[in-house]
Amino acid sequence: MGVGIEVINLNAWYGTNHTLQDINLHIPANHATALIGPSGCGKSTFVRCLNRMHETNPVGRVTGTVRIGDLDIYADAKPVQIRRRVGMVFQRPNPFPTMSIYDNVAAGLKLNGYSNRRALDEIVEKSLRNSALWDEVKDDLKKKSGASLSGGQQQRLCIARALAVDPEVLLMDEPASALDPVSTSKIEDLIFQLKSQYTIVIVTHNMQQAARVAEKTGFFLNGRMVEFDSTHKIFTNPSDKRTEDYITGRFG
C-alpha cells in the first residue's frame, strides 16, 4: 500500500539556477496526483526531489523537507534506501537492453540480493500482469531482450520493473510523452488501475491526461507551485488567474 507525501519548503537548484522555490504540498496516499505546467517550470525537478535523484546531478542541490510516510527522506535516510521504496518511470523507456524481459523486471530485487527463485518467478509474473504486459510477453520472458519490445511495451516493462520492488510511491515523469496514442491510453488505463495500490505522482504535458487519471492536480510555473487542488476544481474553476490562462491554452 502506498503512503502519503508531505513536502515542506522545498527548494532546489541547478548550479545557480533556482529551479524550485518554496514548494509546500501534501500528496495523498493511494491516489494519482498530476503535475502540470509549461516546459522548464520545475515539475520534473520536483519529482526527482522525491526520490533524491536530483542530487545525482553534480550541480543539483536541495533544501527543505520531504516526508514519505513517516520518513524524512533528506534527514533520516540515504538515497539508496529511499529509491528502494520509491519507484520511478522515466520519460523515455529505458529497459536494460542486455537483459531478458524477465531479468529486466527482476533487476531491482536481484540488485538487492534477492535470490529466491520461485518467489522471483511469482513477482515477475505479478508485476507484468499489473503492468498489462504479461499476455504479450509470457512466451518469451527469458528469450527476448528488453530492447526487442515496441516503445509502448518497453514503457510498460519499465513500469513492471518499478513495481517489482513493491514501492510505496510510484513517480512517473511524463511516462507517455514518447509514445503513440494507443500505447498512451494503455499506460493511462494502467495508472487508473494501479492508483488504488500505490501513491502515484505523474508529471505530464498533456492536460487531458491529467484530467483523465488524477484526483489531484498541481500547476507549476517558473519554479513555483501556483495552485494545488482537486483535478475537477483545477480544470473547471481554478482560483488563480495564471492556472486558468494555462488550462485554457493562453500560454504554455
- Residue spans of alpha helices (H) in 86-116: 101-111
**Is residue 59 at the binding interface for another protein, with CB under 8 A as the rule?**
no
In whole angstroms, give the CA distance from residue 142 to residue 216: 39
Q: How far is CA 47 from the centre of its chain?
A: 7
Given a contact cutoff of 8 angstroms between Cβ atoms, the answer to whether 123 and 106 are in contact is yes
For residue 130, give the amino acid letter.
N
What does the per-residue mask of binding to another protein show for 89-128, with x meaning CB under 8 A? -x-x-xxxxxxx------xx--xx----------------
Q: How far is CA 211 from CA 106, 218, 241, in A?
A: 33, 11, 19
**Position 14 contacts another protein (CB under 8 A):** no
Applying CB under 8 A, does 158 fall inside the site for another protein?
Answer: yes
Q: Binding to another protein by residue 162, rule CB under 8 A?
A: yes
Q: How far is the CB of 222 from another protein (least distance, A)?
A: 24
**Judged by CB under 8 A, which of 24, 56, 116, 239 binds another protein?**
56
> Is residue 129 a contact point for another protein (CB under 8 A)?
no
Q: Please pick, from the candidates 11, 30, 145, 222, the single residue that binds another protein as defined by CB under 8 A.
A: 145
H/E segment holding residue 7? strand 5-14
The interface region with another protein, picked from 10-18, 74-82, 185-193, 218-226 by CB under 8 A, is 74-82
**Least distance from another protein to the Cβ atom of residue 84, Å:** 3
- Residue 73 within binding range of another protein, rule CB under 8 A: no
Does 15 contact another protein by CB under 8 A? no
Q: Does 182 bind another protein (CB under 8 A)?
A: no
Contacts of 38 (CB under 8 A, 6+ apart): 221, 246, 251, 252
Alpha-helical segments (H) within 79-150: 79-85, 101-111, 117-130, 134-137
What's the CA gap between 139 and 161, in Å, rounded? 18
H or E, element range at 191: helix 181-194
According to the binding rule CB under 8 A, does residue 177 interact with another protein?
A: no
Q: Which stretch binds another protein (CB under 8 A): 60-68, 87-95, 174-182, 233-241?
A: 87-95
Name the site residues for another protein (rule: CB under 8 A).
51, 53, 56, 58, 80-85, 87-88, 90, 92, 94-100, 107-108, 111-112, 143-145, 147-148, 158, 161-162, 165, 249
